Amino acid sequence: MAKGSSFVALAVVLVVILAGDGAMASDDPAAPAYKFTTGYYAMSGGDQASASGMDFNLRRNLGEGNVWLAWFRSPGMELRQTRAGWDHSFIVGPLRVQPSLQSASGGFWGGSLGLEVGESWFAGVGLGRTNLRPYVNLNFDPNDAWMASGGYRWHSGRSLAVQVVRDNRQNQDQQHVHLVYRTSLAQGDRLTLDWLDKRGIVDGVSIHRTGLSVAYDWPQVFARLSYDPKVNFTAQDMWRLQIGTRF
């Protein structure tokens, strides 16, 4: 198969699904079928000049998981990439199984598998792998990594969780620790706070930095503002603003 043709085929399939008439929509008829997000990313610091980027992501909720199609462009970094993916969560006995697949122009493929158990108290583990081709990592955690998480969910809609993501392939010094607090508010609104502890080696120097993400969800629209120092374990710091809608 020609280079990149497998991604093109996957993207065509996803475009057909995203543009469909809703016949495969979620089992919950009240749940919005689509989610559209626009992200603005501003980077500065290190020896590189400041740069910015824009990303557009359309996600559709299906009965057999979610599919998404996205496009990123940064003129300052002379970078553009189209990405696509699928993820799902289903029950196997006491386990919640959470697989995902990603592909991107340039020949990138990747995926992850997560397992979670428990209701009020819960714990989970996971593993991610890629083919190491160039990828615009807007997940920001290491992709070739193991993951472990645990926390507590209240009946009121609040939850507190800790997640550790550590590279276990090319850069085994790289580690993210997230402390995530979510709470339901009046009229269906939600607030999410994600505190990030980052440790690793950047340009031969061991770093330890702290980041923060604040997200607010209304019933139909949402916004998220984040600060991520040494983003993707580079010399640059990043501010990012994401806004979107469900429909």
Of 52, 30, 25, which Cα lies nearest the Cα of 40?
52
SS3 string of 123-159? EEEEEEEECCCCCCCCCCCCCCEEEEEEEEECCCCCE
- Using the predicted structure, report yes or no on whether residue 246 has a pLDDT greater than 50: yes
CA separation for the pair 131, 185 (Å, rounded): 41
- pLDDT-based confidence at residue 133 (cuts at 50, 70, 90): very high
pLDDT at position 203: 92
Share of the chain above pLDDT 90, in %: 81
Give the model's confidence band at 23: pLDDT under 50 very low, under 70 low, under 90 confident, else very high: very low
Handedness of CA 228, 55, 190, 33 (dihedral sign): negative
Q: Is the pLDDT of residue 199 over 70?
A: yes
Is pLDDT of 9 > 60?
no
- Lowest-pLDDT choice from 28-32, 34-38, 60-64, 178-182: 28-32
Residue partners of 242: CB distance under 8 A and separation at least 6: 37, 38, 39, 40, 223, 224, 226
Q: Do the Cβ atoms of 45 and 57 come closer than 8 Å?
A: no
pLDDT of 14 higher than 70: no
Task: Check whether 124 has a pLDDT greater than 60.
Answer: yes
**Average pLDDT value for residue range 118-137:** 97
Distance (Å, whole) CA 125 – CA 177? 14
What integer is the mean pLDDT of 69-90? 95
Q: Are 146 and 168 in contact (CB under 8 A)?
A: yes
Amino acid of residue 156: S
User: For the chain, what is the mean pLDDT?
Assistant: 91
User: What is the pLDDT, as a whole number, of residue 19?
Assistant: 62
175-193 pLDDT, tens digit each: 999 999 999 999 999 999 9
**What's the CA gap between 72 and 82, in Å, rounded?**
6
Rounded Cα distance between 225 and 73, Å, is 19
- Span 11-30, average pLDDT: 56
* pLDDT reported for residue 22: 47
Query: Does an H or E element contain 11, and which?
Result: helix 5-18
Three-state SS for 219? coil
Instruction: Please report the pLDDT score of residue 24 as a whole number.
Output: 45
Dihedral-angle region of residue 65 (phi above 0 means left; psi in -120 to 50 means alpha; beta otherwise): left
The percentage of the chain sitting over the pLDDT mark of 70, rounded to a whole number, equals 87
Could you give the CA distance from residue 223 to residue 225 in angstroms, rounded to a whole number? 7
Q: What is the pLDDT of residue 100?
A: 98
pLDDT digits (tens, 9 = 90+) for 42-71: 999 876 678 999 999 999 999 889 999 999
